[in-house]
Amino acid sequence: MQRVLTAFLLFCVATVSHAGDDAALRLNKVLLSLSSMQADFVQQTTDGKGRTLQSQSGKMSVKRPGLFRWETLKPSNQLVTTNGNVLWIYDPELLQATKQQLDTQVGNTPALLLSGDPRKLNESFLISEEQGAKGEQVFLLKPRSKDALFEQLKVRFKGAQLLQMSLADSLGQQTDIRFLNIKVNPSLNAKQFEFTPPKGVDIIDEN
């Protein structure tokens, strides 16, 4: 589960059909209208039998290009943030912060969806479109890379608002993330995506 969540913050073996190209164009159109986003989130992970494994809630912010902040507040506090170059995972209860250099693999993760260049999505995903509720658009993205930590990502939009993301992994687990109190294209200061470890925090450098 933690590996999948980390991959959330960081998507050739098949040929895309014309239908997939059309879906990619429609998804690109939605994402290009979304330059920044701020919201609360509620996240639930279930196993293959539908049993709840974990429930979390918190707040997130994202700004193109490459800025992402994901803070879990309940049941425990954890911060995942990137300024586009360095990814920090901070656990205040453990007094521990992990530092990672972002690399080209970010193109194989859902982070590309929110903080990267939407025009490059088709290079990393097979994209299709599903029937959604009235006024909504639902897209299904399957990673082209065999090394991806999940099998598919489903995203649900209403206009430029991202309402929900659902990730399924190879173990049968599913993580559903619902967004609340959504602000589309707010003015966000880039400083909020920077992180300086507090004094006394153990730093693990994975670079």
CATH code of the domain covering residue 47: 2.50.20.10
Average pLDDT over residues 2-16: 40
Neighbouring-strand partners of residue 167: 153, 175
- The span from the CA of 6 to the CA of 149, in Å, is 9
In this structure, is residue 177 part of a structural domain? yes
Proportion of the chain in helix, strand, coil states, percent, rounded to 5:
20, 45, 35
The distance in angstroms from the start CA to the end CA of the chain is: 22
Dist CA 144 CA 125 (whole Å): 5
> How confident is the model over 50-94, as pLDDT tens digits?
899 999 999 999 888 888 899 999 999 999 998 888 889 999 999
Domain assignment present for 13: yes
What does the pLDDT look like over 165-193, one tens digit per residue?
998 988 889 999 999 999 999 999 999 99
Q: What is the pLDDT of residues 26-55, one digit of tens each?
A: 888 888 888 899 999 999 999 988 899 999
Question: Cα separation of 146 and 202, whole Å?
Answer: 34
Indicate whether 142 belongs to any domain: yes
The structure tokens listed for 1 are 């589960």
Q: Sign of torsion, CA 111 112 114 115? A: positive
Token pair listed for 86: 């360095």
| Domain ranges, residue 106 | 2-196
User: How many distinct structural domains can be found in the chain?
Assistant: 1
Residue 103 lies in a domain: yes
Reported pTM: 0.82
> How far is it, in rounded angstroms, from Cα 126 to Cα 78?
31
Mean model confidence pLDDT for the chain: 82
In a domain, 79, yes or no: yes
- Is residue 68 a part of any domain in this protein? yes
Beta-carbon neighbour count of residue 161 at 10 Å? Answer: 16
Residue 129 sits at φ, ψ, to 5 deg, of -125, 140
User: What is the structure's pLDDT at 121?
Assistant: 75
- Classify residue 207: in a domain, yes or no: no
Output phi, psi for 21, to 5 deg: -60, -45
Residue 19 lies in a domain: yes
Q: What per-residue confidence (pLDDT) applies to 115?
A: 66
